[in-house]
Amino acid sequence: MTTAETAQTPARITIMGSGSWGTAFALVVSDAGNQVTLWARRPELADKINFDHCNPDYFPDLVLPESLKAVSDPQQAMTGADFVVLAVPSQSLRSNLSRWRIPEKAIVVSLAKGIELGSGLRMSEVIAEAGQIAPERIVVVTGPNLAREIAERQPSASVVASVWPATAEAFQAVCHTARFRAYTNTDVIGCELGGATKNVIALAVGMAIGLGLGANATASVITRGLAEITRLGLVLGADPYTFSGLAGLGDLVATCSSPLSRNRSFGEDLGRGRTVAEITASTRQVAEGVKSCASITELAAKHHVEMPIVENVAAVVAGELTPAEMITALMSRSAKPERY
């Protein structure tokens, strides 16, 4: 499908996942004039979306467009789709793909931001491997994408990345709206690493806030976190300019600065003394950094990249350090040049 074709004819887009980000993105592509189907795992939620035009689990106060249709059968949802948008948590992506049959000609779009545990694969790599999807059919959407703000149609910008420029342009054409500005990029590696690792840095920022630390501390964590993301990205072949853009700095700032960020909020609770188990049990939202910190630590070790913030966050999540001990460990590291 070419950009011209998608611009002339409403695209058939299926969103696989009715969580906060999946629902918000369904609004984006609905606003762009497409024919949108939302897959909801539970039939009762699909009924709520179809008849009450709301998602009571995530956005009970927002009215969904009547044109948005929801189904609970995954194969029915994907039948005839031009684009299949995967909006499930990163660590369940492989298991879902093993059960789903994605239409052969559909472009597959990843909204997940994570690194798979065990394999160390990025989400586009998981899609290619588990879904048997050629890389030129895969798109990654990433950037400063706080779901609540996008669902409220506040202005936002994002990156649509694919190794095949025409594929990125095709999806850009069907998701670009007056409130959601989409830019294309061919650096899938950098875009995915930025999106996955910023969640871990946001956990560290949240812990600093939870401990009562101020702007100097949080700014330092954000900046040094960006340095860690860039170091890993360069070793893995990313374009360094990606990390100064929406998929790098933009996403990092939004996730670390906003109380709407699940990862920052999770970190704040850790800093205030709650355990990972307690926080996880009290919310239906997934803080991707809690899972990905271990896989990113392993990926960095495999490529001999030093990532002290990520490593220390992983230690806190594993129960090996307290947040206060993490801050002490980071501050007591030996002095170095800023760039080394």
The pLDDT of 194-200, averaged and rounded, is 97
pLDDT value for 338: 86
The ranges assigned to domains in the chain are: 3-186, 189-331
Lowest-confidence pick of 45-59, 252-266, 285-299: 285-299
pLDDT value for 2: 40
Q: Among residues of the chain, what percentage have pLDDT more than 90?
A: 93
Please, what is the average pLDDT of the chain?
95
Cβ distance 58 to 36 under 8 Å? no
Q: Is residue 302 annotated as part of the catalytic site, yes or no?
A: no
The alpha carbons of the chain give a radius of gyration, in whole angstroms, of 19
pLDDT value for 8: 56
Query: Hey, what are 43's tokens?
Result: 């039939």
* pLDDT for residue 280 is more than 80: yes
Q: What is the 3-state secondary structure (H, E, C) of 74-128?
A: HHHHHCCCCEEEECCCHHHHHHHHHHCCCCCCCEEEECCCCECCCCCCEHHHHHH
Neighbours of 255 (CB within 10 A): 29
CATH 1.10.1040.10 fits 189-331, yes or no: yes
Residue whose tokens read 């271990």:
294
H or E element in which residue 257 lies: helix 251-257
Question: Which among 333, 327, 339 is positioned nearest to 221, based on CA atoms?
Answer: 327
* pLDDT for residue 241 is more than 90: yes
* pLDDT for residue 6 is more than 60: no
* pLDDT for residue 286 is more than 70: yes
Fold classification of 3-186 (topology level):
Rossmann fold (3.40.50)
Q: Among residues of the chain, what percentage have pLDDT more than 70?
A: 97
pLDDT value for 141: 98
* pLDDT for residue 74 is more than 50: yes
The pLDDT of 190-195, averaged and rounded, is 98
What are the residues whose beta carbons fall under 8 Å from the beta carbon of 87, sequence distance 6 or more? 15, 16, 17, 18, 19, 21, 22, 25, 111, 112
Query: Hey, what are 314's tokens?
Result: 């992983």
Catalytic: which of 198, 291, 302, 336? 198
pLDDT value for 114: 95
* pLDDT for residue 1 is more than 50: no
The pLDDT of 189-217, averaged and rounded, is 97
* pLDDT for residue 242 is more than 70: yes
C-alpha span between 183 and 195 (Å, rounded)? 15
pLDDT value for 7: 45
